Every structure is written in structure tokens, then in C-alpha cells.
Structure 1
Amino acid sequence: MKFLDFRSDTLTVPSDSMRARMAKASVGDDYYREDPTISAIEDYAADLLGKEAALFVLSGTMGNLVSIRAQVPPGAAVIVGNTSHIHLNETGHLASVCGLTSHPTPTPDGRYDIPALEASSPVPKPGASPSVLNPRLKLICVENTHNGEGGRCLDNTYLASLREFANVRGLTFHMDGARVFNAAVALGCKVSELVSHVDSVSFCLSKGLGAPGGAIVAASRHVIEEARHWRQMVGGGMRQAGIFAAAGLMALQENVEDLAIDHNNAKQLARGLVEAGLDVDVAKVETNIVMAYIPQSLTSPGEFFDSMKRAGVLTLPPKGNRLRFVIHRDISNADVMLGLQRIGQLTESFKKVQQNA
């Protein structure tokens, strides 16, 4: 039986051509800034994103950490989404390494409600003297696309409004752009337009782009030099890392447009899951992530999850009654159709059980 793995787009494996590119990569010692392939991807990424400079790091989590530590002093406060990756899934580095107090804030559909944000307690009123009791608010973070909210995209209009909000209050604006290329493809704009509103951005070379690992931070030249210092502190200093960077450079040069295929497959999956009897808001499927809900009348989430696993359809365990399906370049349209066939058979069997109960 063929297993269909919808757990995450982190599961992509390098293609044969990517492996060949890695094997032939020119390398040097990156500590001395002598690895030509590292330099090539940093220059290419900075130009692509319209930023002064870029830095190759080992992961998106490391990218977020060094970006923030480079710009915000310990003891300050940060606004983060309450379902964001940086708040929930990065081992608390905002507090433990960066020394920041987090204010987790609701982001329905991945967006802060700016009027509600302006009225919230951590946000100082323009012109008001800051309290001596509270940590000074210095940073606001967004996630684009927003994983926890179903791969939703933040567009230029919204990001410009949030930039204005940050400017009035003197806040640094950071984007966790782990899947920002998915957002740019879905919105039909250049990635440089989306990140023009932020002071710093990190994005993953793995996930939908298909490299085996690595991430990029892009910002001003000064911020990147500071981030390089903090990268060293958290163990991100590298030697002949060009073999790693070569895969990422190929991903940026050749794989971005393919993300549209993943988005189309995700839409087809969403529509098919609805037909199979699951609850999906198809209109909210903008990129490669599909959030599906198991009706209470069908069966328990745990039982449905276990049954899917036995049928060779893999997702992460349910959160409540929600299952997350993620499409990537190693999940074909034929795989989507086969997965829908298996899920449809499962839901039919559960419906029969309910009818005979």
C-alpha cells in the first residue's frame, strides 16, 4: 500500500538534480566568509527580496531568533499572534534567549485587528509617556503565510497598514515568512513587495521550495551584521556549508513558480474532502494548507485519525476535531485523488455504522 503523507511540507526530499548541484558546489570556510556558494545565495536572496543584505541560517526558528535578537534589547515587549509559530513552536526563545515579554494577541485569518490592537493594554497611545512599570513595547511580528490559521496570506494593503501602526509607535516590524513565497505566488505579486513593509524577514528554503534545510534572513546591512553575531552565539556558525546552500539557491531559482501547482492541488483536496463529508471552508484555502473538521455525527477525531492511518493517509494528530493536510511538491495530483478515494471510503463506512446504531 502506498502511504500518502500530508503531515507537512517539511517532508520534501531533494530531487536528483538538486543532489547533483549540492555535490558539485564550490565551498570554502564560511566563518571567514570564503564560501562562494553561501555568498551567492545571500546576494541572490537579498536582491530577490529587495533588502540590503541577507544571511544564511540553519532553520526558520534560528532565522526568527537572530533577527529579533539583533534588533530588540532584552527587557522589551513584543506583540505576537496567539496561534503563531514563533509563539507556540519555537521553544520560547523570545523569553529564554531574547529576554522579551510576549503579548499573544488573536489573529483570526492570520491578521491582527488593528483598531483592537490600538486599544489593547500593551500598546502605548501616541505621544503618551511610557509607564515605568511595564516593559517597553519594541516589536510586532507577523506570520506570512499563517500556518496555524490555515496558510492564510497577508497582502500588501494590510501589511502597509500594520507598517503605519508600527511607525507611529516606533516599533520594529518582523515577518516570519517561512512560507512567504507561497503568499507571493497566491497573491500574484513579487515577494519583494510583501517584505518591503517589514524591517526584517526570515524564510525557509525547505518546505514548499524543496531544499533539504536552511533558511534566509534579510534586512538592512547593519541588522544582518548583528544577526551574524547572534547566529554564532546559538551555534549557527558554519564551515563548508556551500553544499547546503547550493540546494537552497536552486530552490529559489527554479522551484518558486511550482508552488502554484501545490495551491491548485490543495483546492482540489479541499473540495473533495467536503464531498467526502468533512467540514472545510474552501474559500479560506489560499495556499497549500487545508484545515478539515470532522463532524461530531461521523465519529471521534481520534478514531477517524487512526482509521486514516490504517488506510495509508497520514496527517498530524487532530487538534480538537481539526485535521491539517499540507500539500507539497512530492504530493502529486494523483496522490490527492487517491487520498480522497480512501477518505471517502472511510466516511462512508462510518456513516453506515451510524445509520445501523
Structure 2
Amino acid sequence: MNNRKVFVIGLGLIGGSIALAIKKEHKNCMIYGFDIKEDQLKMAKSLGVIDEFVDQVEKGVEDADLIILAAPVKKTEEVLINLASYNLKASAIITDVGSTKEKIVEKAQVLQGKGVTFIGGHPMAGSHKTGVEAAKAHLFENAFYILTPSEGTNMTKIIQLQNWLKGTKAKFIEMSPSQHDQIAGVISHFPHLIAASLVHQVAKIEKEQPLLSNFAAGGFRDITRIASASPVMWRDILIHNKEILLSLLSEWQKEMDYVKGLIEKAEDQSILQYFHSAKMFRDELPIKQKGAIPSFYDLYVDVPDHPGVISDVTGILSKENISITNIRILETREDIMGVLRLSFRSDQDRDRALTCLAENLYEAYISS
């Protein structure tokens, strides 16, 4: 794919990471970028994520062999409509990265007659950081990358898109747009909605119990991490996947009514079985496989109450060139062991950290 042109619309974490993966695999192609934020454009070029940037989408699509729409789903729909009026290379492949697919694939029908091929896409990986400065070529490694081609899409074009994206080292899976939206709704969209609702519940009760937020700073904060995701992105996702989420909410209400009944009747064996079966199913889920919700690669380290212990731990990891993305003190009181929670970019970094800390006589462990 020498001397080919790639145009990325939206230079955040996802768009930037895909650009880096393509550059890594196809060194002779030229990557152009566009973003509504000028600072992101300049940052992308200075970091070598793109080769050049343009100030208008219409300029970027000219002669582009691959066009990647890495914008929020609502914006992606707008871009698709605009593309229908631009001069596009007849053999061009256009793809997106949206978390919903059915409505986007339907909207892409405006491109019929242009000679181009639209193939919906969704790389099911991400990070808790945002912006092009957080982009990594290996962000999607071993993650599922869903492709949702329309019926009748030329198989050659699907293969070409996978060849363009093979630098991501992702696992490509084809499915229908509706099947994708059902699966993503269950294991990604709905959990985000529940996490946000849990936070709202605490926020309301806190008005009567001001100390509540202090107690919610530990485990509650951890299980609701995903509620910190982009509000704009999740607004668009909920609207686009409305029918499936409404159905899931109805089922969830039935589930909560069932649990409410168990509690009202104080059925101890039924309650025990409810938690037991949930534990069994959850414990059998793949551990290292990347899913739709970004994984947290956390390592817990028991540390004594001693000055300099944190700098010692970080120093050990620094010598091994292991980067820590976050560090938090979970518990530290006089005369007892404290606990550090270290977060890493990948499970490989976490496993390396576990090994070298153990070699330095630290008690470190991974909580599943």
C-alpha cells in the first residue's frame, strides 16, 4: 500500500491510535487528519500521529484511499451526509469507529452511487485517558474489532480494510449492525447507564447524609469508574441505541422486582443462590481478553507504614521502565500495613510489575 492516502476525521484517542497503527504497518502511506479542535491537530502532527492536517474535511477526502470517521456517532452521521456531496475516489473505503452501528450503516446509504465502500467498524477497546496525546499503536492489540458490512459488500473490500488495520493487531469479527448493537447494549451501554444511575442515587442521598461521599470514595468509586466517561458520547449512544436500551431497562426492572421480592420474604437460601450463581458466571468470564469496556490493569501492593516506601516501590518499577498510569493509597494507618493500588497500561506491564516487586520482597497481588 505504498503512496496511499489515509484521512482520519477526529484525532482523539481512538482516531490517533488507529493512525499510529496504520503508520506502523504501512510506513509509506501518507496520513492526513482533521479535527474541530485546532490544538489537537497541531498536537497530532507534532507527535507524528499524522503527516499533515487540513482545515476542511472536503480537502482531506480528495484522493483518499481510506477515510476513517473517528468522531462521536451523532457527528459521524453529519459527516456521512456531507461526504455524499464531496468528490471521493471511486475505490475509497470509508469506515467509522462508533459504538452503535445500525443507524450509522443506514445513514451511510447516502453514499450509494459514489462508487465508494462503507464498512461500519467498532474497535472494542479504549482507555481512561482521552486526547491524541494518549494515543498508542498497541491500544487495540488482542481486542475485538467488530466490522459490520452491509449485505452485498464486496468481500475484497472487507479484506482490504482488515489489511489496512492489521497493525492494530486486533481480532476482527464480522456481524450485522443489529447484532452488534444488541451485544454492545448488553455488555457496554447498559452497564454505563447503571453506573451513572448509581452515582445519581448517592448524590441525592448525600443531601441528607453529607458524610456519604467520604464512604463512597473507596469501593463505590471503583465500581462506578465508567460513569466518568464522556457525557456527550454517552448521550449520543443512548439515543442511537434507544430501542435496545429500553428493552434492557424493562428486563432490569423485572430483575430488581425479583430481588426486591427475595428481600421482602427474607428467603435466605434463594438470596444465597442468587449471589452464588452470579459469582459463578462472573468468575468464568475471560480474564485477559479485552472486552467492550476498557479493562483496569490494577496491582495491589501491601506496604508498611514507613517513610519513603512509596518512592521505593515506584523507583523499583522505574528501573525496569514500567510506566504507572495511576497510583492511589487505599489504606494507611499507623501500625498496620497500607495498600497501594497501581494502575498500568496493559496486563503485560502489570505482570512485569508483579514479578519485580515480588523479587524485592513486596507482597503484591491482582484482585479479580
TM-score normalised by L of structure 1: 0.37
Q: Which has the larger radius of gyration?
A: 2
TM-score normalised by L of structure 2: 0.36
